[in-house]
Structure 1
Amino acid sequence: MERDIVDGESGRAATEPIGIDLVAPEVFAPMLRRLALAALGVGVGVTLLSAVWVSWPYAIALGLVVAVPTIGYVFAFRRRRMWLSGTEIRAHRLLGEQRIDLADASGVQLLVFPGRLNRIVLKVTAGADIQLVPLAMYTDAGSGRELHLLGLRKLADALAASELAAAVVVSEVLMQQLRAEARDAGLGERPLYRGVRLVREKDAVSPVVLTDSEVASLV
């Protein structure tokens, strides 16, 4: 009986959703709140000022035009969350939720967005659905942010369950990244940073998909 209870608890823990946001929305919550209040204040100001020259309905409409887009963006950003439950990625959006099962993925790639803030993401394709999972971002100065250790481990395990050879290789890249982060290795020893550096050396300005050989070289 005791063994059954332990097994049940470990099974629930294995399937418990894990947040895989590179930067959790809570980090930006105070800034977003100030932005929404500022937009509301500007909207009210525009309404009151416009009411001097036009009727109140038009003045209110102008205030809404100024304030609503920013407030809507803040609301949408705060709703955006991403979880991994078993092998399934669940991405919360403004309208609804997208789910992609890594075990059934038809394509898995590493994609680099070069720029002052270089981003490397996992691109998962399942039929007509595409999901991008940010893995790390680095500045030219060498600082940045990387996905937390538990997120990397769960993603690696989920990718390893796929029948795609590309997914298995990316899984190994993430495991190597996990080990590098765990021992606080230098950036040059971290596969995700080396992937970004491959693209930076090409002087690319548009997003670049790492080739199979480039991904394999990161392991």
Structure 2
Amino acid sequence: MAYENLEQLKELESVLERLDELIEDEDFFRSDVEGYVIRYNECINQASNILDEVLENDPEIPIAHETFFEKAPTFTEEQILVYEELEGFGLNQLNEFRLELAELLEDAQEKPRKDLFNQLTIPVLSLVNHQEHPTRPGYLVYHFKIPEHASYFEELMNERGLFYERFDEQRNGEDVYWFGVRDGDHDAVEIINYTVKGKFRKPLIRDKGARYFVIGFGILIILLAIVGAIMSNL
């Protein structure tokens, strides 16, 4: 299953849970049939729309959605509802569909994005820490190898309200922290990326005394060059 479907399937799980609660609410059914039909149809239509999005990404998704929608009772405000028919649907097709979906989500979360991130590489001589998303057009993936850098990047992304998906893994014995971001946010994310680099950048010469010596020596060379130029023109 394509990991991009995970959020949609979680949303579908939530819709099916609401549908199950609705079917069990016999008091609502008896007191307001028209309102009940509206709520029921909203749940069915929302579930269908979410599943359509999922199937666009993964037509071979291993879940018996056809049976569920074929068996779902169809009602309009004008039709008389039969609660027993709804109850039977809830106990059978809806229950089976929810169990299959739960298993699918559990399997997806056990191996959340491993196959996807195996397609990402970390070039040894690359000067940038981002690349195009291997399966999702319009997205980029940033990586960090130091947890403090990843945490600060995530903090800034949250402060700016920018979308991202994070995945941590261990590759060849070292930790790697991946962030998927929208390509449309690239300019804003690059500012954050440079902010992170700037915050944790180590000086080229770590010893403070040595740094001052190099700076002083450089100034002395410049002064000698200026004096030499003046003397040569006298």
Whether the TM-score (by the shorter chain) exceeds 0.5 is no
Compare the two structures and name the one with the higher helix fraction. 2
TM range (shorter): 0.3 to 0.5
TM-score with structure 1 length normalisation?
0.34
* TM-score relative to the length of structure 2: 0.32
Q: Per chain length, whose mean CA-contact separation is higher, i.e. which structure has more relative contact order (CA < 8 Å, sep 6+)?
A: 1
